[in-house]
Structure 1
Amino acid sequence: MSAFHSQPAQPPSLSSAADPLRIGDVSLTSRFFLGTAGHPSPQVLRESIEASGSEVLTVGLKRTLQGDNGALAHALADARARGVRLLPNTAGCRSAREAVALAHMARELYDTPWIKLEVVGDDHTLQPDPIELLSAATELVREGFVVFPYCTEDLVMGRRLLDAGCPLLMPWGAPIGSGQGLLHLPGLRTLRERLPDTVLVVDAGIGAPSQAAQAMELGFDAVLLNSAVAQARDPVRMAGAFRQAVAAGRQAWRAGLMAPQSMAVASTPVSGHAFLLGDA
């Protein structure tokens, strides 16, 4: 049984305080994970983080190691001082060996065993390489990391990653940065249905708050995105919009969405009831 558990389908209370996302011994009230790349300025990033309510921020180690990132480091330090957790990622890696080496550097730099594991297999779609991903995940789990694997909606590969010791899965909605939303709905639905006790975080491809709400309405446990906020005309306002959409989608799923039907069903049936007619 996974150490990360989804909440029951119909818990008694709908308050966010009664619906935490548990990651090992960590309890989160926010189900919106925010990326930190590409914001117009460190100040905008700070304000976006605050507006998002996010308690988990992803940060690319390769980007951190390049150039002068002092301002970014200060923004991240401010967030950590408020209790926000960093989730360093291995973005840009093309092999298990490279990803494992970068993960070790991230653990030293950020003092966290959490790692978002990305091993890209195609330069056009940035689709994960399942073979290299599984190899890297297996090694990192053995070395004490808490591995958040960025994967596709493939159920068999998802099970392999869980068997390797990954406590959750991060399936893509669409290619990274594309803003296309949930392109693989049948696969995502199957993943949710077949892995009911596994935390699933939709990662990549989300471009609008409505798409984030859709993911949450399907029963996914959280959403991770970056570009949709960083590239918005007003990133801070957009971060707030996503915060509300993720919360609304979660509440809708917990409340119980009505089932679609192929024909009209009167919301106020009148058959068998007396009602008054107007004067002739």
Structure 2
Amino acid sequence: MKDNMEDTLVLYGERFASRVLLGTARYPSLATLGESIEVCGPGMVTVALRRQMAADADGTVGFFEMLKQYAVPLLPNTAGCHSVQEVLTTAEMAREVFETDWIKLELIGDDYTLQPDPIGLVDAASQLVRAGFKVLPYCTEDLVVGRRLLDAGCQALMPWGAPIGTGKGIVNPYGLRVLRDRLPDVPLIVDAGLGVPSHACQVMEWGFDGVLLNTAVSQAASPARMAHAFAQAVEAGRAAYLAGPMAERESAQASTPTVGMPFWHHEAGHLA
């Protein structure tokens, strides 16, 4: 059994209270977002610099003011960027606005799948790291690209499970598990494509370090209830991984041990 003492998510040497990271876009209301944060207790919440300063129903509390009430670390992202220069400009502005060196690097290479641009992604990551950012790059399960991002100075990766907002779960289990197996000491957070809590539980059972959720929660019929369900699923999956699951077998094996002949055979022989 793996040691679970002080089993917390560690990124760039910092510990976080939860292995769930929560996005803040497309919720029905600020109140619903707040409820989801409260019941989920995420380690970080993502924020986009381009998001408008929304207000709640009475118009007195804005989006960022509401987030401050929960005292959850912010993870600005570069959502919507299509060039390296656009990423760098957005990241610098986000650092000034949110007063943090953390950045979720998103550089879109295809508008249909929202797949990251692998070449520009490595270039942008390298420049951001040199500029003092703690970079969490959104990438695919491509092992080679992952290694290049690590060579660029990233200390964690955020591979997708499926294209953003699809809710399909893990479309390439083999590739994602290879990434985990080949990078055993790198924090890996599955970002994008998860739809239901069982998807999150599965990747946590495989040994991934966390998940980032947005659409799966914000577009649920009851976002707060779904956020709570995901938090429980992540906890259960992590506990299962730490417990050390049994080895999978090709053939059946009785769970109840037997020794010698069944007792009724003994009785029959004795009566005869």
TM-score range, shorter chain: over 0.9
Larger radius of gyration: 2
- Deviations 1:136-166, CA, capped at 9 Å, x for gaps: 1010000000000000111111010001000
Matching residue within 62, 65, 71 for 1:74: 65
Matched, 1:216 2:204: yes
Describe the SS at the equivalent of 1:199.
Answer: coil
Correspondence for 1:6: none
The 1-side partners of 2:142 and 2:254 are apart by: 40
Q: What runs of 5+ residues in structure 2 fail to find an aligned partner? A: 56-60
Matched, 1:10 2:13: no
The 2-side partners of 1:88 and 1:37 are apart by: 12
Query: RMSD over aligned Cα, in angstroms?
Result: 1.7
Correspondence list, 1:123-272, <5 A = 123-272=111-260
User: Aligned pairs, how many?
Assistant: 263
Q: What runs of 5+ residues in structure 1 fail to find an aligned partner? A: 1-8
Residue identity over aligned pairs, in percent, reads 56
Describe the SS at the equivalent of 1:62.
Answer: coil
The TM-score with structure 2 as length reference comes to 0.92
Question: Closer, same or farther in 2 for the Cα pair 1:131/1:19, shift >3 Å?
Answer: same
Describe the SS at the equivalent of 1:121.
Answer: coil
The 1-side partners of 2:237 and 2:179 are apart by: 18
The 2-side partners of 1:115 and 1:37 are apart by: 16
Correspondence for 1:27: 15
Q: Is the 8 A contact 2:142 2:179 kept in 1?
A: yes
Q: Is the 8 A contact 2:53 2:63 kept in 1?
A: no
Correspondence for 1:5: none
The 2-side partners of 1:103 and 1:275 are apart by: 74
Q: Is the 8 A contact 1:212 1:245 kept in 2?
A: yes
The 2-side partners of 1:68 and 1:46 are apart by: 13
The one-letter code sitting in structure 2 at the alignment partner of 1:77 is K
The one-letter code sitting in structure 2 at the alignment partner of 1:217 is E
The one-letter code sitting in structure 1 at the alignment partner of 2:82 is R
Structure 1 runs (4+) deviating above 4 angstroms are 67-70, 276-280
Q: CA offset at residue 67 of structure 1?
A: 5.8
Q: Is the 8 A contact 1:121 1:129 kept in 2?
A: yes
Correspondence list, 1:108-127, <5 A = 108-127=96-115
Q: CA offset at residue 254 of structure 1?
A: 0.6
The TM-score with structure 1 as length reference comes to 0.90
Q: CA offset at residue 71 of structure 1?
A: 2.2
Q: CA offset at residue 193 of structure 1?
A: 0.6
- Deviations 1:213-265, CA, capped at 9 Å, x for gaps: 00101100000010011011111111100000000000000101122211111
Q: CA offset at residue 68 of structure 1?
A: 4.3
Describe the SS at the equivalent of 2:263.
Answer: coil
Question: Closer, same or farther in 2 for the Cα pair 1:90/1:12, shift >3 Å?
Answer: closer
Q: Is the 8 A contact 2:53 2:62 kept in 1?
A: no
Question: Closer, same or farther in 2 for the Cα pair 1:124/1:266, shift >3 Å?
Answer: same
